[in-house]
Amino acid sequence: PTFIRSFLDLSIADISIGDLGIIIICVVAAILLDHLIQFFLNRRPKHLKDDHLRKHDIIFGSLKKPLHALFMTIGCGLGLVIIDTPSWGVEIFNYIFIGMRALAIWCVIWYLLLLTRGFSEYFAQHAETTETKIDDMVVPLVTGIIKVLLVAIGILLVLQNLGFSITSLIAGLGIGSAAIALAAKDTLANFFGSLVVFFDHPFDIGDWVSLNGVEGTVEEIRLRSTVIRTFENSIILMPNQMLTNTYIDNFERRKCRKMDCSFGVLYSTTQAQLEMIIDGIKKHLAENPNIYTSSYYVAFNGFGASSLDITVIAYTHHTSKADHMADKQNFMFEIMRIVEAAQTGFAFPTQTINWNAGTPKAPFHIVKD
């Protein structure tokens, strides 16, 4: 015992071997306790169904990393509290304790951020199964707001723990509010722009839109910008503030889609054949279930350079590009059948050259000086 006591009384930089042992024991105990809790966190209840099991994994899975960091912080802090503080380390230990408290606060914020991300992914997948697209917009918007608030609260709590007066900080913000407002003008404008998009609901995720000359599909609506996937497969980030003062053309909200078609038949086509073609097209449009029968136009429209021109304007029920193109293709095939049934054909550019075979003119000569 005397030897052990003498050994424990030995000191390194005024910290005894015994105190170092206490710190090590506290850290090891924290690690063992962390491993024990991690073991229970990894166990998945068998009686829970898939949906409840997913929520369980989010809640307890998000806890693992922050809890590990928190236990290490508590273990080190507990060891420093128990031992006798050396004369040279009073101020240093105070700074260490302040840093550990700040780290503990941030571990809590870290867990809440991971929890927010996990439930955001959960609700985003759930939103994909619903018919409405409003929740597809709400989930990322609310997630972004919660993350910003959590980070702001965490920063304020850490600053308060470091000795800063929150009241003084808020007062200082009041004094410099003009400068801050000027610096954050675009950020605030983008944020309120996202609120306008949410409440006015001019488009949904997946809609084909044209925004300020940019045409494509809406992929995501964020706090600062809206993500547009163009038809060239590139990504354009449209600042939300631009959406409050620009025209938004939403092609998905159309009740119908215009089908414009013009073609020419041979000049040898008779009036009776033209009337047969026009009547055949009108009959087809009237009987086609994919066409708005109350609004279509078919007429002989003019004499072209090499054809008799017929114009067709109709509107299809299908508004998506793929379905509309399929309707138009079937209609073009029907036009070919009608023209063939009228025993005429489609015109193509022709040119007639009249050659005068009379006596050629006398040749001319160039006289050089």
pLDDT in tens, 27-59: 888 888 888 887 887 777 766 677 677 777 777
Q: Is residue 58 domain-shared with residue 129, that is, in the same domain? A: yes
The confidence score (pLDDT) of residue 346 equals 93
Higher pLDDT, 339 or 9: 339
| 217 shares its domain with 142 | no
Are 22 and 147 within one domain?
A: yes
pLDDT of the residue at 120: 83
What's the pLDDT band for 172 if we cut at 50, 70, 90? low
Assign 242 a pLDDT band (cuts: 50, 70, 90). Answer: confident
The answer to the question of residue 177 being in a domain is: no
Provide DSSP, 249-291.
EEGGG-SSEEEEEEEEE-TT--HHHHHHHHHHHHHHHHH-TTB
Buried-exposed string 43-55: b where 16+ CB fall within 10 A, e elsewhere = eeeeeeeeeeebe
Concatenating the DSSP letter of every residue in 330-366 gives HHHHHHHHHHHHTT--B-----------SPPPPP--P
At 88-100, the pLDDT tens digits run: 556 776 777 777 8
The CATH number that applies at residue 237 is 2.30.30.60
- Residue 332 is predicted with a pLDDT of 94
| Same domain, residue pair 197 and 323 | no
What pLDDT is stored for residue 357 in this prediction? 58
Tell me: the pLDDT tens digits for 112-169? 888 888 888 877 777 777 666 666 667 777 888 888 888 888 888 888 877 777 666 6
- Provide DSSP, 171-212: HHHHHTHHHHHHHTHHHHHHHHHHHHHHHH----TT-EEEET
What is the domain extent for residue 193?
185-253
pLDDT digits (tens, 9 = 90+) for 192-217: 777 777 777 788 888 889 888 888 99
Which tokens is 17 given? Answer: 């071997």
- Statement: residue 176 has pLDDT above 60: no
Percentage, residues of the chain above pLDDT 90: 20
| 3-class SS of residue 130 | coil
Task: Identify which has the larger pLDDT, 140 or 364.
Answer: 140
Residue 178 placed within a domain: no
| 229/276 same-domain check | no
CATH number at residue 311: 3.30.70.100
Residue 152 placed within a domain: yes
Residues 226 and 129 in one domain: no
In whole angstroms, give the CA distance from residue 124 to residue 136: 7
pLDDT band at 302 (very low <50, low <70, confident <90, very high): very high
Residues 17 and 102 grouped into a single domain:
yes
Domain count, the chain: 3
Residue 340 has pLDDT above 80, yes or no: yes
Residue 298: pLDDT above 90?
yes
> Do 54 and 103 meet the contact criterion of CB atoms below 8 Å apart?
no
> Is 364 part of a structural domain of the chain?
no
| Amino acid at site 361 | K
As to burial, measured by CB atoms within 10 angstroms (0-12 exposed, 13-18 middle, 19+ buried), residue 215 is: middle
331: which 2 tokens? 């209609």
Q: Residue 171: inside a domain, yes or no?
A: no
Spatial CB neighbours of 175, under 8 Å, sequence gap ≥ 6: none
| pLDDT value at residue 349 | 79
In this structure, are 119 and 195 located in the same domain?
A: no
pLDDT of residue 358: 58
Higher pLDDT, 364 or 315: 315
The per-residue pLDDT for 268 is: 92
Q: What is the pLDDT of residue 152?
A: 85
Instruction: Report DSSP letters for 13-35, one per residue.
Output: TTEEHHHHHHHHHHHHHHHHHHH
* pLDDT at position 218 over 80: yes
Rounded Cα gap, residues 325 and 333, in angstroms: 12
Q: How confident is the model at residue 327 (pLDDT cuts 50, 70, 90)?
A: very high
266, pLDDT greater than 90: yes
Answer yes or no: do 103 and 235 share one domain.
Answer: no
| pLDDT score of 342 | 94
**Range among 130-139, 240-249, 287-296 rated most confident:** 287-296
What is the rounded distance in angstroms from the CA atom of residue 12 to the CA atom of residue 18?
A: 11
Same domain, yes or no: 124 and 208:
no
